[in-house]
């Protein structure tokens, strides 16, 4: 009897190769995959207009593309496009040589000449958050916006995490669990947790009724009669609650609209209030929690845990911002 092991045919292996490509596609977040696809299309269009091949492309063509867009695109966008072009070539089995001194020096010069610090949205500090949510009416949209803002702040959620929350447990989804001590936000997957291990975030009761995230969340859920599905949903002008979740852009608009209304109540002109609110966005909730906690001497490791940062270096930026005036030498110099 033969003891030879039968090897799978090439046709049989093809199925595994197809699966390998599918898993490789999942190695990056969906937003990143969409951005990379758009980037390589833009490069292909540019090359086609000049009679240049885009795959495989020459290093000279890639460098010319970067130079041609150095004054019209941000350096961070150019950097992502370069990464997308490199990845496309690697996936197709082509070696795109960008390590020559000429390429590196030119690219470094572009970054030095046109690079600029990222424009960060302002953190919504606790004192400003209190004024903002206080202006919200006790209506269905007002209760939703108050709960959304306070949960996003207290749990330090990203916009995608906030809109993905569901009222009840469902496999593969993020959801909110009610406990005697507060709420537990269960995240199935996040930006820094691409392997899908998940995370649990505690949201305790607030000391003030008006800004308590737990009471505000329960008030909204009860008023909307939600027992399953998305926790935060659109509401039309007739008061009808949608079945889908609000979008991440809606989160930014809710934050800005609420901050603008508070600014108007504080005496700002309409134009001043609009400009003031434009400095805030959905990320202002997450950064606001971190910065406010740091200003109140919360331990750095606790802030890192709430934000789910893998590296403390990322957290330390929020801590430095929140403690700019803590034991500041200029304030201790006797001026």
Q: Catalytic site residue 311?
A: no
In whole angstroms, what separates CA 78 from the centre of its chain?
A: 20
**End-to-end alpha-carbon separation of the chain, Å?**
96
CB atoms within 10 A of CB 78: 22
Q: Which backbone phi and psi does 207 adopt, to 5 degrees? A: -80, -20
Between CA 314 and CA 283 the distance in angstroms is 15
**H helices of the chain, where?**
10-25, 30-49, 59-68, 75-91, 101-114, 126-134, 140-154, 159-163, 213-224, 248-265, 270-278, 283-295, 300-307, 312-322
Q: Catalytic site residue 159?
A: no
Virtual torsion, Cα 247, 251, 254, 258, nearest 10 deg: 180
Q: Catalytic site residue 309?
A: yes
Using omega within 30 degrees of 0 as the cis cutoff, is the peptide bond preceding 179 cis?
A: no
Q: Catalytic site residue 318?
A: yes
Q: Given the residues 121, 146, 158, 189, select the one marked as catalytic.
A: 158
**DSSP for residue 329:** G
Q: In what order do the strands lie in the sheet with 174-179?
A: 165-166, 174-179, 182-187, 199-204
Q: Given the residues 89, 122, 283, 308, select the one marked as catalytic.
A: 283
Q: Catalytic site residue 286?
A: yes
Between CA 318 and CA 298 the distance in angstroms is 12
Q: Given the residues 36, 217, 280, 318, select the one marked as catalytic.
A: 318
Q: Given the residues 50, 191, 310, 320, select the one marked as catalytic.
A: 191
Q: Catalytic site residue 158?
A: yes
Q: Given the residues 81, 89, 286, 308, select the one marked as catalytic.
A: 286
Tell me the catalytic residues: 158, 191, 283, 286, 309, 318
């Amino acid at each position: 009897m033969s003891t030879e092991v039968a090897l799978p045919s090439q046709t049989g292996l093809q199925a595994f190769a197809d699966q390998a490509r599918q898993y490789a596609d999942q190695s990056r977040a969906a937003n990143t995959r969409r951005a990379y696809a758009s980037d390589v299309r833009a490069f292909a269009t540019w090359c086609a207009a000049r009679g240049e091949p885009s795959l495989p492309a020459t290093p000279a063509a890639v460098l010319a593309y970067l130079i041609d867009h150095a004054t019209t695109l941000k350096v961070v966008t150019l950097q992502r496009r370069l990464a997308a072009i490199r990845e496309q070539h690697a996936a197709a089995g082509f070696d795109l040589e960008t390590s020559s001194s000429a390429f590196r020096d030119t690219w470094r010069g572009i970054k030095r000449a046109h690079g600029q610090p990222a424009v960060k949205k302002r953190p919504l500090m606790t004192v400003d958050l209190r004024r903002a949510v206080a202006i919200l009416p006790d209506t269905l949209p007002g209760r939703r916006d108050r709960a959304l803002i306070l949960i996003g702040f207290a749990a330090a959620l990203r916009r995608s995490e906030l809109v993905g929350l569901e009222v009840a447990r469902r496999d593969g989804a993020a959801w909110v669990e009610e406990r005697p001590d507060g709420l537990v936000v269960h995240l199935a997957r996040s930006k820094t947790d691409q392997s899908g291990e998940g995370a649990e975030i505690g949201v305790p009761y607030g000391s003030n009724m008006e800004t308590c995230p737990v009471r505000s969340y329960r008030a909204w859920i009860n008023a909307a009669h939600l027992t399953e599905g998305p926790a935060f949903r659109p509401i039309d002008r007739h008061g009808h609650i949608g079945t889908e979740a609000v979008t991440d852009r809606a989160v930014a608009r809710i934050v800005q609209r609420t901050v603008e209304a508070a600014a108007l109540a504080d005496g700002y002109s309409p134009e001043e209030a609009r400009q003031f609110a434009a400095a805030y966005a959905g990320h202002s909730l997450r950064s606001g929690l971190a910065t406010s906690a740091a200003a109140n001497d919360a331990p750095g490791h606790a802030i890192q845990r709430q934000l789910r940062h893998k590296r403390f270096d990322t957290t330390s930026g929020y801590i430095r911002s929140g403690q700019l005036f803590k034991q500041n030498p200029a304030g201790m110099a006797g001026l």
